[in-house]
């Protein structure tokens, strides 16, 4: 069936009430029955939940073949926990047919690609998929299609019981002996633990993995002991250098700065840019640099930002400390400045992924957002954005909070160079639709600005402010005139990944790529 963004979704996927994407806010007002986990009572007073090894924890939780294990990605490219747990489960205990349901997976998880190739890991549910894992899944080696969800779509699916987590693993920079966890105070600090919170509430079993056991009670806890079955102490949960960078620096790249300046101009030209406005930005070069120019406009107009959300890094913390933003609410931290600030700097708070972005709850932050500034791997003339597949068709990205913030915000600005090397970022059809075009309002490139025709109000704002803009078609033509028109990718029928919209409908599928080789030409 063809969905609302023009993608053919195989009927075989439309079972158990699964629907194709129908447009923004299609599920609004519906009732859902939340799932509940089957959990064990620990009535008898306990001195400690610390067990001697990951294997002991797995055994205590009744780990067996066919189960779904969940993980969160606050340790980012420094994470050791996914690989440690899966090695014990598969190599030591001989478990098979396992599914990994992670908030995201990245380059740290290359070893999992081997388990996929061996057929031991048969399912992957994640926001991000990169590195070798992206390659083997793209090559069709995973037994079932990977399921890709946004950061809001994931807690939605967990709460709705579409993902049933048998054992959730919480990578905890600090924990006490009962499993009260925090993201700070240890040797591998990550700050916010927002993505782990829903898992801990909805999983049948929860295992805390930490490398820093602290005195009971470890308060205020991000994940609470009331949800935890066992605590394992390991030598190291991750490489601190790769968990949080020293400090996210604002790009000095002149192209990024030029685009960032235009992003700020656009924001300042809209009626929502007034005292108390709300804002989220990505950490990519031009998105982050937008902070800098936005601050100049705020100073000029004598206004302050009311609140900011998202993955947080130093420049936003800096604004908070200068009193230029009222509150920062944080689901993940990207650098040490942010890690060291959360729950320490007044008005810097932690939130769960559900609170951040879940469209099926009663008040996600993204739905009150004024502005979001986001990057893109590709954007097409229908303003559909791809942040998942490279333009060669291989999985190497993550929707993250992109679709959630785009849909919820009043103004969603995509900022990207027109081309990257020989790849046209602005193109006719994105390889995969990860954020539907009806959620995207403005495109800022190094060759000009385009406004979605669905937003005549914004077109009027830009005209009023004297900000030149062009059609997205003309940007696409310019891109092709620079790099040449790409050949169409060639696909096999096999679906290797299913991309869910934030409301749980199917937005797109990724098929197995047929690589081009010289001999076939």
Partner 1 sequence: MEILRSAMAGTLESSDAQVIVEPGNGRIELSLQSSVMNQYGRQIKATVLETLERLDVSSVRITVVDKGALDCTLKARVECAVYRSCGASAANIPWGGAVR
Partner 2 sequence: MIPRPRPERFRLRRTMMFMNAQKPGLIKDAYIYGCDSIMLDLEDAVAENQKDAARFSLYHALKTIDYGDTEVIVRINGLDTPHWQEDIRVCVAGGADGIRIAKCESAQDVKTVEAAVEAAEEEFGVEKGRTLLMAALESPKGILNAYEICSASERLFGVAISGGDFRKCMQTSFQPDGVDMLAARGQMLLAARAAGVQCFDTVFTDLDNEEGFRAEVLQNKAMGFDGKSLINPKQIRLVHQVFAPTRKEVLQAEKIVRAYQEQSAAGVGVFTVDGKMIDIAFIPGAERTLRLAKACGMYEGDLVK
The nearest distance, CB 286 to partner 2, in angstroms, is 14
CB-wise, 62 or 484, nearer to partner 2? 484
CB-wise, 300 or 488, nearer to partner 1? 488
The nearest distance, CB 431 to partner 2, in angstroms, is 23
Residue from 216, 447, 480, 491 touching partner 2 (CB under 8 A): that is 447
CB-wise, 329 or 513, nearer to partner 1? 513
Residue from 12, 215, 219, 252 touching partner 2 (CB under 8 A): that is 252
The nearest distance, CB 186 to partner 1, in angstroms, is 38
Helices (H), 341-389: 353-357
The nearest distance, CB 484 to partner 1, in angstroms, is 6
The binder of 446, among partner 1, partner 2, none, by C-beta within 5 to 8 A per type, is partner 2
The nearest distance, CB 483 to partner 1, in angstroms, is 6
Residue from 254, 302, 323, 363 touching partner 2 (CB under 8 A): that is 254
Residue from 217, 471, 482, 485 touching partner 2 (CB under 8 A): that is 482
- The site for partner 1 (CB under 8 A) is made up of 391-393, 420-423, 482-484, 486-487, 489-490, 513, 515-518, 521
Q: What share of the chain is helix, strand, coil (3-state, %, to 5)?
A: 30, 25, 45
Exposed, middle or buried: residue 300 (CB in 10 Å: 0-12, 13-18, 19+)? exposed
CB-wise, 461 or 475, nearer to partner 1? 475
Residue from 61, 116, 137, 257 touching partner 2 (CB under 8 A): that is 257
Number of H helices, E strands in the chain: 15, 25
Site for partner 2 in 27-86 (CB under 8 A): none
The nearest distance, CB 302 to partner 2, in angstroms, is 23
3-state secondary structure of 408: helix
Query: How many other C-beta atoms can be found within 10 angstroms of the C-beta atom of residue 244?
Result: 26
Query: How many other C-beta atoms can be found within 10 angstroms of the C-beta atom of residue 438?
Result: 18
The binder of 457, among partner 1, partner 2, none, by C-beta within 5 to 8 A per type, is none
Helices (H), 374-487: 402-408, 456-465, 472-483
Nearest to 368 by CA among 399, 407, 402, 330: 407
d(CA 442, CA 298): 20
d(CA 377, CA 124): 22
3-state secondary structure of 230: strand
d(CA 159, CA 252): 42
Contact 180, 221 (CB under 8 A): yes
The binder of 272, among partner 1, partner 2, none, by C-beta within 5 to 8 A per type, is none
Taking contact as CB under 8 A, which single stretch among the options 82-90, 92-100, 185-193, 249-257 is the one that binds partner 2? 249-257
**423 belongs to the binding site for partner 2 (CB under 8 A):** no
The nearest distance, CB 136 to partner 1, in angstroms, is 17
Residue 64 CA: distances (Å) to CA of 81, 94, 95, 166, 204: 19, 9, 6, 10, 13
Beta strands in 375-484 (DSSP E): 378-380, 385-386, 411-415, 419-420, 423-424, 426-427, 442-445, 448-451
Taking contact as CB under 8 A, which single stretch among the options 56-64, 202-210, 255-263, 340-348 is the one that binds partner 2? 255-263
Size of the site for partner 2 (CB under 8 A): 10
Backbone angles phi, psi at 499, to 5 degrees: -105, 115
CB-wise, 272 or 447, nearer to partner 2? 447
Name the DSSP class of 238: B
Q: Under the rule (CB under 8 A), what is the footprint of partner 2?
A: 252, 254-255, 257-258, 421, 446-447, 481-482
């Amino acid at each position: 069936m063809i969905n609302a963004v023009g993608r053919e979704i195989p009927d075989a996927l439309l079972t158990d009430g699964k629907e194709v994407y129908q447009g923004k806010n299609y599920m609004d007002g519906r009732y859902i029955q939340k799932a509940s986990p089957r959990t064990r009572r620990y009535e008898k007073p306990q001195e400690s939940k610390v067990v001697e090894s990951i294997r002991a924890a797995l055994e205590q939780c009744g780990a067996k073949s066919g189960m779904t294990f969940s993980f969160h990605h606050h340790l980012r490219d420094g994470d050791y926990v996914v690989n440690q747990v899966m090695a014990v489960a598969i190599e030591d205990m001989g478990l098979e047919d396992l599914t990994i349901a992670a908030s995201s997976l990245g380059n740290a998880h290359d070893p999992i690609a081997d388990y996929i190739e061996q057929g031991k890991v048969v399912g992957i549910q994640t926001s991000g998929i990169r590195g070798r894992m992206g390659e083997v899944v793209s090559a069709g080696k995973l037994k079932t299609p990977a399921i890709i969800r946004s950061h809001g779509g994931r807690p939605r699916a967990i709460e709705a019981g579409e993902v049933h987590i048998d054992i959730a693993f919480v990578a905890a920079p600090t924990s006490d002996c009962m499993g009260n966890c925090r993201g700070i105070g240890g040797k591998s600090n990550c700050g916010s633990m927002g993505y782990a919170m829903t898992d801990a509430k909805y999983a049948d079993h929860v295992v805390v993995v930490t490398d820093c056991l602290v005195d009971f009670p470890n308060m205020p806890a991000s994940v609470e002991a009331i949800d935890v079955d066992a605590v394992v102490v390991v030598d190291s949960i991750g490489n601190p250098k790769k968990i949080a960078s020293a400090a996210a620096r604002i790009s000095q790249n002149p192209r990024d700065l030029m685009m960032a300046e235009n992003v700020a101009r656009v924001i300042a030209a809209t009626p929502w840019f007034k005292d108390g406005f709300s804002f989220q930005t990505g950490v990519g070069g031009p998105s982050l640099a937008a902070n800098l120019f936005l601050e100049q406009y705020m100073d000029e107009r004598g206004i302050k930002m009311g609140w900011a959300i998202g993955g947080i890094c130093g420049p936003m913390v800096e604004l908070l400390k200068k009193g230029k933003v009222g509150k920062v609410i944080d689901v993940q931290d990207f650098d040490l400045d942010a890690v060291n600030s959360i729950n320490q700097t007044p008005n810097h708070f932690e939130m769960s992924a559900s609170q951040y972005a879940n469209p099926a709850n009663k008040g996600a932050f993204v739905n009150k957002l004024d502005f979001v500034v986001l990057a893109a791997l590709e954007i097409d003339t229908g303003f559909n954005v791809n942040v998942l597949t490279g333009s060669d068709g291989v999985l190497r990205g993550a929707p993250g909070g992109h679709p959630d913030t785009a849909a919820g915000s009043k103004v969603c600005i995509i900022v990207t160079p027109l081309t990257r090397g020989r790849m046209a970022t602005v193109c006719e059809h994105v390889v995969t639709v990860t954020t539907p075009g009806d959620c995207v309002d403005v495109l800022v490139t190094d060759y000009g600005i385009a406004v979605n025709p669905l937003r005549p109000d914004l077109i009027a704002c830009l005209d009023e402010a004297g900000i030149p803009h062009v059609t997205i078609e003309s940007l696409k033509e310019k891109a092709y005139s620079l790099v040449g028109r790409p050949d169409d990718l060639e696909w096999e029928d096999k679906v290797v990944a299913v991309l869910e919209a934030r409301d749980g409908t199917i937005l797109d599928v990724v098929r197995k790529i047929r690589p081009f080789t010289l001999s076939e030409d």
